[in-house]
Structure 1
Amino acid sequence: MEENNKLIINSNQGNLLNELKKNLKECERFYFSVAFINFSGLQLLLDTLKELESRDIKGKIITTTYLNFTEPKALEKLQEFENIDLKVFIANKDIGFHTKAYIFENKDSYKIIIGSSNITQSALKSNIEWNVRIISKEDAPFIKDVLKEYDNLWNMSSELNDEVLQKYILFLNEIKKMEVKRQLVFESLQTIQPNKMQVRAMENLNRLREHGENKALVIAATGTGKTYMSAFDVRQFNPKRMLFIVHREEILKKAKQTFDKVLKGRNIKTGLFTGNKKEYDADYIFATIQTMNRYYEEFDKSYFDYIVVDEAHHAASDSYVNVMDYFNPKFTLGMTATPERGDSLSVFDLFDNNVALEVRLYEALEDDLVIPFHYFGITDIEGVDLEGVNLDNISEVANRLMINRRVDFIVDKMNFYGHDGKFRKLLGFCVNIEHAQYMAEEFTKRGIKSVALSGADSVTTREKYIAKLESDKDDLQAIFTVDIFNEGVDIPNINTVLMLRPTNSPIIFIQQLGRGLRKSENKEFLTVLDFIGNHNKAFLISIALSGARYYDKDSLKVAVATDFIDVPGCTNIQIDEIAKERILSQIDRENFREVKYLREEYNQFKSLCGGKVPYMLLDYIKYDGAPDPIKFIDKEKTYLGFVAKTEKDETLKKLLLDEKFEKILKELNGNLPLKRINEFVILKYLLENESISIEVATSEILKYIKEIDDDSVKHAFECLDHKYYDSSMIKQRVKMIEYKNNTLFRSKEFEEIIKNKEYRKYIEDAINYGILRYKNEFKEEYYGVPFLKLYEQYKMVDIALLSNYRKIHSSFRGSGLLTNNNDYFLFIDLHKEEGIEERINYKDKFIDRNYFQWQSPNSTNQSSDRGKNLIFNKERKINLHLFVRKYKEIDKKVQPYIYIGKGDTVEYEGEKPITMKIKLNNELPSKIYREFIEKV
């Protein structure tokens, strides 16, 4: 039975948008009265309103011109619906209009939502809003009062005719002109402050410098403010002379403008160093690499204190290497959106594998660094049949997509969903050049002026059409492309992206989506229309949209079924029911651990690397949406072993014949992904140095985390000494170190192996990958002892390491309760078996997001010391740590546990076992709670 009264807020648990959609679908009539309607909010309701129109469910909407916030575009769109009567209350100086009421008439009752939310994307999804929903019978006095007042407002409001609408549009245009003048004055008074990403980057750069590092790389999505971040860091470092290098002059000029803003008021001269202009006397020089490569020897090697290398993925080329090798600054900062490898040199190696910060798409959305997107997954027309078609057969796929009826369908959907702003600025991603040209021609025939661009077009041609699309004075509305806009091209004004090709790579999908997410003045959101066909890889869309770097089948299904409800901010993802069912059934059928799937995933990634074999684990950090190489390691014990087998590479197979090398690689790969960084940081240091003391190890670890305790450093030394390995593990491993007098030394075997350049590069790669991935997942935080991060995934044996357990670690397994001194670790399976006939343990369950019911092992009674520790844990200072997993296995792969934090027993009953109610110290986030309890 639905609760009569309910408070609706925007949070991870739900939002007003979902509440409105649900109530609209269930009602027989609806009546809205809202002060403001923006297109950003209305677009999110369009599909629901269309469904109501098809079912002849009628509605009335009253809005207003009060404070000039309602958008004419939204009013025009509402006028298209035959089932909606629309009226506008014309506000004046004396009478304002501020109602926010949503009334739903049902068979024998009314549901009414009254509160603070208008129809805008932020009010419906992300703002702090309070709305109260009340359910009552139609004859209740409250309902009668509301309906009476609504009728009064309806009678006081005006029909929206063309004349009223045009007057309102003209009035708003005049207001905008006045606002521009006001904003220009105000802007000049503003102090530029760093955003969250920039603050974090600066803190991490400082930490690296304090511990002796002089190079670092920042990886962040396009449009997230990397140039501003570099300017802020330069301002805090305060070098006497600085050099900023980039490969394109247009980027250089923008960078100089940014620095001039940030450094305003300081007595610093900035200047350009390009083919046309060489300002040698500037303190801070902004140079193109082409020019600096010709003139760098005219400067002293120590002339610059600080060097910034923008678009650092180009830095592996000879011209950059020449310049970077010549100069000897106090600090070098590299910045890139995609840290691709060059032909020989790794970008990571160029910056000593110090990644100060990595910000990918979903983090950028969360921190409001890019604009939100409204994604609509639309089932493609029946005439397009891609079932069983090999998606690598590009010409066949293109032929099946190039039909006029599909173009009409696409245009129809574009017109229905609309776009942000006055002018359409569209990027359409196609299968091949022929498809792009076809789309451009067909759109132009239909009155939407378009052009096709590809890698075959010159840079000048591309720039010309990009400028036309950016301009509001040109009539070009769309660019159709194949590959050239996946990354690196900046068109801030893009407000529509069309996905016109079947998605067979999450990486490419994310790159293409990213083209439209750059912030631009007056741009509120990006409209993304994805036409989903019946090809057998449609489920890859869910991987791209989930935002999870590392996923499992169950969490993907929950994300799809709930329309990715946890996507940050005003972003909204909506997939129609046919496409959703198709995707869910594909996920069900797919085995993400099967050799066939893994090889396909690997080969797809290899093709994105330009056909070059991705020999290094670090290759997987360069792309947002890249596969998780741990799956490849699981299959063959080492990543190199998987590559050797997949590529049938005899050279690699020979390398792995060296028993010592293979054992070292197995140990390093087997520890991935890291849950504690200490051991790998120590090994990284020992690659370059013969020994390391506890003091030096502490300093090295502090480059990556904010603090570290002495006992955990000592425990790391003991673990590297294999002190807690059992006999079989010792046989399978090669000791990389010798431990004497609180100092670690490289062992002879390790010395011998790392002298070989081929062996060394793979060992170094595993160590650097482990550290970089750890930084992405754990950031710079110190989690204490046991070293446990809330909601992170753990295996049972991990906890021995992370709690500084000083016995054989492999013994830390078995029952659902393990202890280490005052720390009690509860390992809980919610569902005992995967599958339709699964048996559920109803005793171990979430009561809600704050309480968990757990049964002790069968042998535990209340009077035993262990029993007392469990039921009186708080008084006895016993820490109960809860680890939960939904299924023990998925696709025959044992699943890790999720750490949901500490809890205290508040109620208990029974003997052998004891049933306990545990209050969690941290309320479980709704996303994780949903994944645990949802059955899809």
Structure 2
Amino acid sequence: MTDDQKLIINEGPVNMLNELVSSMRTCKSFYFSVAFINFSGLQLLLEPLQEAKERGIKGRIITSTYLNFTEPKALHKIKEFDHLDLKIFVTDKEIGFHTKVYIFEYDDYYKVIIGSSNLTQSALKSNIEWNVEIISKPNGDFIENVRHEFDRLWQDSREASENLLKEYADFIRDLPKKEDTPTLIFEREDYITPNRMQKRARENLERIRSYGEDRALVIAATGTGKTYMSAFDVKEFEPKRLLFLVHRGEIMRKAMETFQHLIPNNKDKQCGLFTGTEKNIEADYLFATIQTVKGHYHRFRPDEFDYIIVDEAHHAAAQTYREVMNYFKPKFMLGMTATPERSDSQSVFELFDHNVAVEVRLHEALDDELIIPFHYFGITDIDAVDLSDVDIDDIEEVTKRLKVHERVDYIIEQMLFYGHDGELRKCLGFCASIEHAKYMTDEFNHRGILSTHLSGSDSAEVREQTMNRLEDDKDPLEVIFTVDIFNEGVDLPSVNQVLMLRPTNSPIIFIQQLGRGLRRHEGKSFLTVLDFIGNHKRTFLIAIALNGSRFYDKESLKVAVSTDFANIPGSTHIQMDEISKERILSQIDQENFNSMKYLREAYLEFKQFLNGKTPHYLVDYLTYDGAPDPVAFISKKNHYLDFVATVEKDDQLKGLCIDEEFDKALKDLSKRLPIKRIHDFVVIRMLFEQDIVTLNEATKEIEKYIQTVYRDTVIHVFEAINHDFFDHVKKKHAFKMAEFDGVSTLTRTASLARLLQHEAYRKYLEDALFYGILRYEREFQTIDYGIPHFKLYEQYQMVDAAILSNYRKTHSAFRGSGLLKNGKDFFLFIDLHKEADIDERINYKDQFIDRRYFQWQSQNATKQISDTGQDIIYNEKRGVHLHLFVRKYRKIDAKTEPYIYIGKGHTVEYSGEQPITTILRLEHEVPQNLYVEFTEKV
């Protein structure tokens, strides 16, 4: 075997952790020498360490006390493995210890990884780390030197005896008392800077206000810093008077403390409370509960407050809030919420004029490091629990089958094996029913783990007392088993372990339960999640919940599962055992995500989550992380209203669709979803409010949403609304909303004016518009993508290229060919897997060479000497832009798949003709995660 080297960095599925795990699973022995080991890193290796033990593979580990960074808890855990020998290099002031070397021995070679990664979660998964892997022959000079040095360190290190570990643990425990310097850094309000979410929100709030808007909404999970964000904005806005409205008293006091920290009294602003017992009515910045303000708001002038903040703004649709909000006329009103749920009357989006300054879902929060990472372990449930023939909505039967003593022992065994961050266990266990929660409580208490249970039937006082007990380090309570009250809106920052003990039947609930432990807390660096995965028929919902809404198709979801969700950002780690993984992959294979059966189940599951309330509007699906994508419902029917009417068998809803013009109008808007260009919907929204829209008015309105607006694009939008690019068939079946005079004015049609007079018609049409705009803002933000208006790694259909490049011929011509053109813009539509029975390009060898280079073959008829051939071969010289759109499969489950835009390429090599084979250098290296999705075979 020859020597070989490679660089290992942390990038998606290629990271130090995966390299260590794969090496441990194939070697015959291993030797680690790392300066630092903490439990966050060790926990990620527990399963491969256990597998090595079962295979009889031994290992030696050296670590150090250097800088007191190694955690005693990690050392104790290593000592539990009798196939591992552990030694500790005890450092002093003169000698440091900073090695990071991992040695793996095989039958005929050694693998040595030397670099910068210690055994910590961030070093193994997310930090910027450089590690060099070297493959060496067993008798080479290099490996001889490495082994010799390791042996020398082994001799110089001390046995990890119980006495030594106790001494070190005692030293670490007492360290803060021995330090003369304070553990907190000196902070002044001037030095506290916004995080990425807060900065993004601030910029967007400024932009929203600059266009005359006087209210906006911020959507972000609990613990992501919404209150700090609002304080930063207030600091810049400098209102003379502020009202901060909350739903609960404890939130009010915490909010005031935050503002006092960032905007102290020496800034000439006094903060005060307005409560039932304390009314500091003269305070500049007043913090109050809605209950108190409701009875006293007439003591203030309507314009008393320049700036009003409504916390937990999803309550704002309630009558108590609306009465207060309608009375006051501030210069600006900011709403903040974790879940913008709809009330019976209206949505929170409507209350804040559909202006969303920022929206942060689970994946974004992880990426922005607003919450702590989680380590998820999917563990196959015991054989004694058989859910294969039960309806998981049959709670009574599920509860009966989960109440197994053997299962309780198994759960505790896994809890002890995987452990948790920190010294004290602070655990939430999510159960199938109250009966199940009581059973688990009794069984845990019987086994010496102090536990209790809570449900919606317990009083608010009991719930608060119990939660305070779990938060109190002096209270011996370790576990709260619960059913339905910790899904949302409950703040338990110290929770470091979550048990999923019920079958997952809702991605929304799964994400909400997971989120209960993700709040930052002193002494907690990650959350441990143990999910006991049964053999029920909808296990695959776990994969949908964990992967979020980003998977492009069924195949991508399978790749995510097989690669342990490498797309999850940061140090978060997802690991399923092989049985669970195979079970989920099999279910995904068998499930048709486009079938009416599946879509009906997804809809009814969402409706059940809403306590049986029919979700009439598309905007309802923007409310919850993990909600189904309603565009899938639209693709099955003419529009969402048609889908709901069909599933609900609602004759009244079906009756609305009898109006042919309304049906056409709603279908026209719905079939454009999700929109890839916001301009059209903004202009149509204007037509809902005014008879005539000019180019200048439209441009100004679109600038509220996009950083740069091109006049030619606005003209193209006017032409598109005028149906200039429709063929005769489409014109016959489409609904015309406005007439364009060909110069500068768009005039609303009488047909649209008639529909808008009908309250129900208008509501459904506006819902499609608002959904399109809000979803666009979430996915595209305010970025100017130029012309063509393409975002990297976004999904597109062929016709989108015509729309987004301002193509001024019939747009229906944009289909059926691998190369389409609009002037100097060439659009290459590429299927990586050819389908022999339907694909005339079956012999074409289109493929990724690596993440930077792509091999593409032209159409069969293309010669090098032709104009098209010359444009392709010399594209840079001739000013031709080659845009690449790639998809893995043409169809999945009989549905045509979209393409993924991977940017522009430039021809660097070419050969042959009819077809011409080209090597294209991509302007943007394809991200590792996406590259794996394109190339991985599952």
**Is this a same-fold pair by TM over 0.5?**
yes
Shift of the 549–62 alpha-carbon distance from structure 1 to 2, 3 Å rule, reads closer
Corresponding letter in the other structure for 1:122: S
Q: Which residue of 1 aligns with 2:415?
A: 414
- Offset, 1:808: 1.2
Shift of the 300–3 alpha-carbon distance from structure 1 to 2, 3 Å rule, reads farther
- Offset, 1:814: 2.4
Instruction: State how far apart, in whole Å, the 2-side matches of 1:884 and 1:179 are.
Output: 58
Query: Aligned with 2:905: secondary structure?
Result: strand
Q: Which residue of 2 aligns with 1:261?
A: 261
CA contact (8 A) 1:830 1:840 kept: no
Q: Which residue of 1 aligns with 2:885?
A: 883
Instruction: State how far apart, in whole Å, the 1-side matches of 2:115 and 2:190 are.
Output: 34
Q: Which residue of 2 aligns with 1:224?
A: 224
- Offset, 1:824: 0.7
CA contact (8 A) 1:834 1:890 kept: no
Shift of the 841–229 alpha-carbon distance from structure 1 to 2, 3 Å rule, reads farther
1:893 matched to 2:899: no
1:804 matched to 2:824: no
Q: Trace 1:432-831 onto structure 2 (pairs within 5 A).
A: 432-549=433-550, 551-740=552-741, 741-831=743-833
1:844 matched to 2:827: no
CA contact (8 A) 1:850 1:923 kept: yes
Q: Which residue of 1 aligns with 2:919?
A: 917
1:346 matched to 2:347: yes
CA contact (8 A) 1:669 1:766 kept: yes
Shift of the 185–368 alpha-carbon distance from structure 1 to 2, 3 Å rule, reads closer
Instruction: State how far apart, in whole Å, the 2-side matches of 1:484 and 1:106 are.
Output: 52
Runs of 4+ in 1 over 6 A off after TM superposition: 834-840
CA contact (8 A) 2:189 2:262 kept: no
- Deviation sequence 1:705-742 (CA, Å, 0-9, x none): 11111100111111111111111111112211122341
Instruction: State how far apart, in whole Å, the 2-side matches of 1:500 and 1:664 are.
Output: 47
- Deviation sequence 1:154-206 (CA, Å, 0-9, x none): 12211122221121112112213356961335245871111111111111111
Query: Aligned with 2:191: secondary structure?
Result: coil
- Deviation sequence 1:276-318 (CA, Å, 0-9, x none): 2111001111110000111111110111111111111111111
Q: Which residue of 2 aligns with 1:140?
A: 140
Q: Which residue of 1 aligns with 2:313?
A: 312
Please, which moves more after superposition, 211-220 or 149-158? 149-158
Query: Aligned with 1:333: secondary structure?
Result: strand
- Deviation sequence 1:55-80 (CA, Å, 0-9, x none): 11111111111111111100100110
Q: Which residue of 2 aligns with 1:931?
A: 933
Query: Aligned with 1:26: secondary structure?
Result: coil
Instruction: State how far apart, in whole Å, the 2-side matches of 1:931 and 1:110 are.
Output: 31
Instruction: State how far apart, in whole Å, the 2-side matches of 1:80 and 1:183 are.
Output: 32
Shift of the 874–838 alpha-carbon distance from structure 1 to 2, 3 Å rule, reads closer
- Offset, 1:362: 0.3
Instruction: State how far apart, in whole Å, the 2-side matches of 1:594 and 1:629 are.
Output: 14
- Offset, 1:835: 11
Q: Which residue of 2 aligns with 1:7?
A: 7
- Offset, 1:211: 1.0
- Offset, 1:212: 1.5
Query: Aligned with 1:272: secondary structure?
Result: strand
Instruction: State how far apart, in whole Å, the 1-side matches of 2:712 and 2:430 are.
Output: 55
- Offset, 1:390: 0.2
Aligned length: 936
- Offset, 1:119: 0.7
Instruction: State how far apart, in whole Å, the 1-side matches of 2:261 and 2:179 are.
Output: 23
Corresponding letter in the other structure for 2:763: K
Q: Which residue of 1 aligns with 2:297?
A: 296
- Offset, 1:860: 1.1
Query: Aligned with 2:91: secondary structure?
Result: coil
Please, which moves more after superposition, 792-801 or 90-99? 90-99
Corresponding letter in the other structure for 1:215: R
Query: Aligned with 2:827: secondary structure?
Result: strand
Ranges in structure 1 where 5+ consecutive residues have no aligned partner: none
- Offset, 1:405: 0.5
Please, which moves more after superposition, 54-63 or 594-603? 54-63
Normalised TM-score (structure 2): 0.98
1:855 matched to 2:852: no
Query: Aligned with 2:267: secondary structure?
Result: coil
Query: Aligned with 1:831: secondary structure?
Result: coil
- Deviation sequence 1:316-343 (CA, Å, 0-9, x none): 1111000001111111111111010012
Instruction: State how far apart, in whole Å, the 2-side matches of 1:925 and 1:105 are.
Output: 32
- Offset, 1:690: 2.0
Query: Aligned with 2:168: secondary structure?
Result: helix
Q: Which residue of 1 aligns with 2:429?
A: 428
Query: Aligned with 1:497: secondary structure?
Result: strand
- Deviation sequence 1:447-467 (CA, Å, 0-9, x none): 111110000001110110111
Q: Which residue of 2 aligns with 1:105?
A: 105
- Deviation sequence 1:228-281 (CA, Å, 0-9, x none): 111111111111111110110000111111111121342111111111211100
CA contact (8 A) 2:13 2:563 kept: no
Corresponding letter in the other structure for 1:345: Q
Shift of the 759–522 alpha-carbon distance from structure 1 to 2, 3 Å rule, reads same
- Deviation sequence 1:609-641 (CA, Å, 0-9, x none): 121100100000000011011111011110000
Query: Aligned with 2:183: secondary structure?
Result: helix
Q: Which residue of 2 aligns with 1:160?
A: 160
CA contact (8 A) 2:444 2:451 kept: yes
Corresponding letter in the other structure for 2:579: I
Normalised TM-score (structure 1): 0.98
Corresponding letter in the other structure for 1:709: Y
Q: Which residue of 1 aligns with 2:150?
A: 150
CA contact (8 A) 1:833 1:889 kept: no
Shift of the 50–778 alpha-carbon distance from structure 1 to 2, 3 Å rule, reads same
Query: Aligned with 2:128: secondary structure?
Result: coil
Instruction: State how far apart, in whole Å, the 2-side matches of 1:350 and 1:837 are.
Output: 51
Shift of the 262–512 alpha-carbon distance from structure 1 to 2, 3 Å rule, reads same
CA contact (8 A) 1:905 1:918 kept: yes
CA contact (8 A) 1:721 1:735 kept: yes
Q: Which residue of 2 aligns with 1:249?
A: 249
- Offset, 1:357: 1.3
Instruction: State how far apart, in whole Å, the 1-side matches of 2:34 and 2:836 are.
Output: 48
Corresponding letter in the other structure for 1:802: L
- Offset, 1:4: 1.6
Instruction: State how far apart, in whole Å, the 2-side matches of 1:734 and 1:87 are.
Output: 77
- Offset, 1:96: 2.0
Instruction: State how far apart, in whole Å, the 1-side matches of 2:882 and 2:189 are.
Output: 53
1:54 matched to 2:54: yes
CA contact (8 A) 2:3 2:137 kept: no
Instruction: State how far apart, in whole Å, the 2-side matches of 1:917 and 1:229 are.
Output: 48
Q: Which residue of 2 aligns with 1:279?
A: 280
- Offset, 1:95: 2.1
CA contact (8 A) 1:831 1:841 kept: no
Instruction: State how far apart, in whole Å, the 2-side matches of 1:865 and 1:706 are.
Output: 37
